Chain A
Amino acid sequence: MREAVRIPTSLRVALIAAFLALASNLTIVGFLYFRTHDDTMAVHRQRVGEEASALFDVYRTGGQKGLDAAIHDSLDAEDPQLIAAVLAPPPQASLGNVTAFPAPLYRLRAGYQEGPLRIADSAVPVESGYVLHPLGKGEWLLSGRSFGERLSLQRTLERSLMIAVAASVLLGLLCGAVTARYVSRRVGAIATVAEDITRGELGRRVKVSRSGDAFDALGLQINHMLDRIEALMEELRLLTDSLAHDLRSPVGRLRARIDAALTAPSEERRHQLLGGVLNEADSLMRILTTVLEIGRSEAMTSRKQFTWLGPDELVSELADMYEPLVEESGASLSTKVTGVLLPLFGHRQLLAQALSNLVDNALKYAASGGEIVLLAEQDDGEIRLGVSDRGPGIAASDEAEARRRFGRLDASRSSGGAGLGLALAQAVAHLHRGRLELQDNGPGLRAFLVIPAAVAA
């Protein structure tokens, strides 16, 4: 097995940033060099070299005298750039238009070089390219040409570019270091929060600055995720608490009935009581199933069983199912479909169950009030499926309790039902990315499952 070489992420970020900074700087430097460099300098060097060897040839053939004459002739030609001289260490006199050695004697060397020279007609040293030839006895032949403005400029530019390259390497490294520090500081903040969460401090959240950059977006997403997890955990805790609490009464009733059956005086009475035990057990099972259903819906696990269905069909099927029962209890059931309804992508079974819970509620609390209406409407991209009744309705202050699992508005809990009807309807609405709306029907209640029509998208 080969162990991959692990480079710490912050170092990697630093290297990448440095490399990018360097690359971009080098590109600019290269571009400048390419645009400004030409062969003027090379021509200049060649010319200086040729003139110098011509003078040296004169020296070899004509000796000191010939050389002196040649230098004089050259300078007489009034070429402003020309530099020619025989330099001798003091006290001997020098010849030509150079007034001083370009460097201390011991550092002089033969060959082509560039640098400032003190020229007879110029107050300041002049940048030039020149060739030095030792002539013996401490004398040097200097022959060259001053650069002139253009060449000086180019030389300056080339030197500057060299410096720029060096500087860009340094800047690149600096840039990398700064970037890496910044990134690891921002990521580190998120990691610290994650660590705290792992340790159990679930209330911790990533601090989000107001700059709205990618790190903030990441932090926001993580915070959203944490909020959702916390809400789910809270929900779970509430549910377990309420299960433990609210299952006590049906289990208690069950126990009481068994107790009574055990001590029943007659066989017939025992039979009757045992039948009641069965019913009680069944309703307990129903409560458990409904609680499970609510949990499933809130956790959005049933969405893969969604199909396309007609909301008006759903409503009319339910009306068909409930109509006899409602009539028996002395009320009337009708359907009211408003407008053209688009098909709905949803869970037929759960939607039907939610609506049947709403009808059941209407029957339970409002049968005396007369008319119960199953409603289906389309409104602004939302499909509204609901039930209206003429019962006592739900006061605004009671709404939260009505929506709660095992929430009951009559404190005595005497009438049947476990208080799960609206909670299930609400969970089913949430499963369809919708909501449960409770409205005043003046008098009565209008309970709607409001579902966005485009839920399939």
Chain B
Amino acid sequence: MGRKILLVEDDLETASYLLRGLDEEGHSVDHVGDGRDGLFLASDGSFDLIILDRMVPGLDGLALLRGLRAAGCATPVLILSALASVSDRIEGLDCGSDDYLVKPFSFAELLARVNALLRRADGSAAMADPRLIVADLEIDPMARTVRRAGKAVALKPREYRLLEYFARNAGKVVTRTMLLEQVWDYHFDPGTNVIDVHVSRLRRKLEDGFEQPILHTVRGAGYRLGPDA
């Protein structure tokens, strides 16, 4: 299921690294190295996702983004930037981007975020069944209840939110920073394994008494909720 992605990035090395990686994932990527060209291409709305470097020649990334949003284009945008401070990230998000990733980044992190954004765009289109079902796990976001193989699992509110986020990205890798940003709304790096402990607690509740593991650790990247691959 390849998707159309626009990459606005002037650094050729980063661009070819991303082009290769995203191409391997089956996406078709258009690449421009200039902000003005980027805005021109992006504004027809035919892309599923825009990956935008914040500092590109021609037109600054944030200006491009503002122009795009002002023109009513709602395509998800992921900002890539070497500007790494918390304030820079908040500024980027406030400008209308859907995600902000600091350079240098690992490709796994980028891919996880790209997938989450693509999925979110799909999700907002089709919300017929509000329940989330992952293998034998069933989550009801209205009642905030969780069942596994028909058995109720008691979760604390924070654990529930964590699980709901995993479930909305079921089968995909979710990184630690994504969890920190989406579940806790913190945009700084705590630098400890604070997230890991939460996840392992959640895992214990989900897997104790069951044969099959459902919340997996993906080495060097993050976690994945889903049946064994």
CB distance from A59 to the nearest CB of B (A): 107
Report if A349-B158 is in contact (Cβ < 8 Å); known contacts: A321-B194, A325-B193, A325-B194.
no
- Whether B85 is near chain A, meaning CB under 8 Å from some CB there, is yes
- Whether A305 is near chain B, meaning CB under 8 Å from some CB there, is yes
B188 lies within 8 A of A353 (CB): yes
Q: Which of B188, B191, B193 has the most CB atoms of chain A within a 10 A radius of its CB?
A: B191
Closest 8 CB pairs of A and B: A353-B188, A302-B87, A324-B197, A325-B197, A289-B84, A349-B86, A325-B194, A293-B85
What 0/1 readout, one digit per residue, does chain B (77-111) give for beta carbons within 8 Å of chain A?
Answer: 00000001111001100000000001010100000
Report if A296-B158 is in contact (Cβ < 8 Å); known contacts: A349-B90, A352-B188, A360-B191.
no
What 0/1 readout, one digit per residue, does chain A (286-302) give for beta carbons within 8 Å of chain B?
Answer: 10110011001000011
Bound Cα distance from A285 to B84, whole angstroms: 9
CB distance from B88 to the nearest CB of A (A): 9
A305 lies within 8 A of B87 (CB): yes
**Inter-chain contacts of B17 with A (CB < 8 A):** none
**Inter-chain contacts of A363 with B (CB < 8 A):** 192
- Whether A350 is near chain B, meaning CB under 8 Å from some CB there, is yes
Using CB atoms and an 8 Å cutoff, list the residues of chain A in contact with chain B.
275, 278, 281, 283, 285-286, 288-289, 292-293, 296, 301-302, 305, 317, 320-322, 324-325, 328, 347, 349-350, 352-353, 356, 360, 363
Which residue of B84, B102, B186, B197 contacts A328 across the interface (Cβ within 8 Å)?
A: B197
New A-B contacts (10) at CB < 8 Å, excluding given A292-B85, A320-B158:
A278-B106, A281-B104, A289-B102, A302-B86, A317-B184, A321-B194, A325-B194, A349-B90, A349-B186, A356-B188
- Whether B201 is near chain A, meaning CB under 8 Å from some CB there, is yes
Residue of B nearest to A292 (CB): B85
CB distance from A272 to the nearest CB of B (A): 11
A321 lies within 8 A of B184 (CB): yes
Bound Cα distance from A60 to B106, whole angstroms: 131
Which residue of B104, B106, B187, B192 contacts A360 across the interface (Cβ within 8 Å)?
A: B192
A296 lies within 8 A of B85 (CB): yes
- Whether B66 is near chain A, meaning CB under 8 Å from some CB there, is no
**Inter-chain contacts of B191 with A (CB < 8 A):** 283, 286, 360
Report if A286-B220 is in contact (Cβ < 8 Å); known contacts: A292-B85, A325-B197, A350-B86.
no
Bound Cα distance from A360 to B193, whole angstroms: 11
Report if A278-B220 is in contact (Cβ < 8 Å); known contacts: A283-B191, A353-B188.
yes
A324 lies within 8 A of B87 (CB): no
What 0/1 readout, one digit per residue, does chain B (188-225) give for beta carbons within 8 Å of chain A?
Answer: 11111110011001000000000000000000100000
CB distance from B68 to the nearest CB of A (A): 22
Q: List 30 A-B contacts (CB under 8 A).
A: A278-B106, A278-B220, A283-B191, A285-B104, A289-B102, A292-B84, A292-B85, A293-B85, A301-B87, A302-B87, A305-B90, A317-B184, A321-B198, A322-B194, A324-B194, A324-B201, A325-B192, A325-B197, A328-B197, A347-B86, A347-B87, A349-B186, A350-B86, A350-B87, A350-B188, A353-B86, A356-B188, A356-B194, A360-B190, A360-B192
Bound Cα distance from A179 to B102, whole angstroms: 61
A296 lies within 8 A of B198 (CB): no
**Inter-chain contacts of B91 with A (CB < 8 A):** 305
**Inter-chain contacts of A328 with B (CB < 8 A):** 197
CB distance from A304 to the nearest CB of B (A): 9
**Inter-chain contacts of B84 with A (CB < 8 A):** 285, 288-289, 292
CB distance from A348 to the nearest CB of B (A): 8
CB distance from B51 to the nearest CB of A (A): 20
Q: Which of A275, A285, A321 has the most CB atoms of chain B within a 10 A radius of its CB?
A: A321
Which residue of A286, A293, A322, A360 contacts B86 across the interface (Cβ within 8 Å)?
A: A293
